[in-house]
Amino acid sequence: MALRGVRVLEMAGLAPAPLCGLILADFGAQVLRVDRSPRPPVGTDVQGRGKRSLALDLKQPQGAATLRRLCKEADVLLEPFRPGVMEKLGLGPDVLLQDNPKLIYARLTGFGHSGKYARMAGHDINYLAVSEGIAYLSSFLWKSQNMGLWNRPRGENLLDSGAPFYETYKTSDGKFMAVGALEPQFYEQLINGLGLEPQKLPSQMSFSDWPEMKKMFADIFSTKTQAEWCKIFDNTDACVTPVLSFDEVASHPHNKERGSFLKNDHQEISPRPSPLLFRTPATPSSKRDPFIGEHTEEILLEYGFSKEEIAQLCFLKVIEFNKPKANL
């Protein structure tokens, strides 16, 4: 796979860092998740596919020293903490990059950040604020203010459910259809599918008529089941689609044909890794997620620790083993 041989250390955390570790593992990287020790009663990483787990107490000096030693042999470190947490442990980027100038130190504390999140030695560290990342993502909203898209009260504008052609509607069987027919040619097909006559309706952009139009659309959508509306709007450009459950998404004909979802050995469904590479495609692991501390010993041995050193770390309760018991 594309990242075969790349060594990644992922500090256990929530959402962004585990997702990045999952992506790297899916594309062939050796991702080692550094979990807390003593281990919490319940694991929080639902994105542990293809990873191994090392349980380590970083609050002990020997634990911090162990991680620092691991980083000397790693290619990437993913950490989800706020600025200052790793520094207090003596494991900040300046320290780790001094030990290993080729280490990519990636601090991931939120989704949707702008700019760089990683750096090589010799470049300035760029700590990103979540609010700045969100502001950058919303550039369209700011730039489109002068177009009149947001000059009405909340909930009455074109893209915030004010428009009858940009909304969700309940069907007769209690399900929903999503409508996003913004462009005139799509709106025309929406009107045809609803069985309405365009010449008898107000213009699409008649704001004052939107509340009455929404009521009309809602009444019409409530007369048929979701399946019946799908039959009407499938293979059209009306931009009308069903709102599906998780199971329905995975079994949808389009997704089945594309192979967009995969099942692991435990019949758990998850999205197929993307992008799809043809020469070196991702091959996600089908095994269960790792238990916290399941691979502590084998990881330390791989990274050059002797059995005597491992035994000493275990005696000091710096590391933790959690070997699964065989089902007999």
Residue 125 has pLDDT above 60, yes or no: no
Domain locations along the chain: 7-135+263-320, 153-243
Would you state the pLDDT for residue 267?
80
Q: Flag the least confident range among 43-52, 74-83, 271-280, 313-322.
A: 43-52
Q: Flag the least confident range among 151-165, 203-217, 224-238, 274-288.
A: 274-288
Would you state the pLDDT for residue 147?
79
Residue 141 has pLDDT above 80, yes or no: yes
> How would you write 202-256 as a 3-class SS string?
CCCCCHHHHHHHHHHHHHHHCCCCHHHHHHHHCCCCCCEEEECCHHHHHHCHHHH
pLDDT digits (tens, 9 = 90+) for 104-119: 999 887 665 544 433 4
Residue 210: both structure tokens together? 């939107």
Residue 121 has pLDDT above 50, yes or no: no
Pairing mode, strands 176-180 and 52-56: unpaired
DSSP-assigned states of every residue in 293-309: TTTHHHHHHHTT--HHH
Q: Flag the least confident range among 41-50, 198-207, 219-228, 293-302.
A: 41-50
Residue 304 has pLDDT above 50, yes or no: yes
Cβ within 8 Å of residue 25, ≥6 positions away: 8, 31, 49, 50, 51, 284, 285
| pLDDT band (50, 70, 90) for residue 176 | very high
Cβ within 8 Å of residue 224, ≥6 positions away: 171, 172, 232
Beta bridge partners of 76: 8, 104
Exposure string (b/e) for 273-297, b if CB count within 10 Å is 16 or more?
Answer: beeeeeeeebebeeeebbbbbbbbb
Find, among 48, 20, 18, 30, the residue nearest to 287 by Cα. Answer: 48
Residue 211: both structure tokens together? 């509340």
Q: What percent of the chain has pLDDT over 70?
A: 90
Cα separation of 82 and 27, whole Å? 27
Pairing mode, strands 319-320 and 52-56: antiparallel
Would you state the pLDDT for residue 269?
85
Would you state the pLDDT for residue 135?
77
pLDDT (mean) for 84-89: 94
* Superfamily of chain region 7-135+263-320: Crotonobetainyl-coa:carnitine coa-transferase; domain 1 (3.40.50.10540)
Write the Ramachandran bin of 163: left for phi over 0, alpha for psi from -120 to 50, otherwise beta. beta
Residue 123 has pLDDT above 70, yes or no: no
Residue 124 DSSP one-character state: -
Cα separation of 200 and 46, whole Å? 53
Span 153-243: which CATH code?
A: 3.30.1540.10
pLDDT (mean) for 278-289: 87
Would you state the pLDDT for residue 167?
97
Contact 49, 270 (CB under 8 A): yes
Residue 191 has pLDDT above 80, yes or no: yes
- The per-residue pLDDT of the chain, averaged, comes to 88
pLDDT (mean) for 15-21: 88
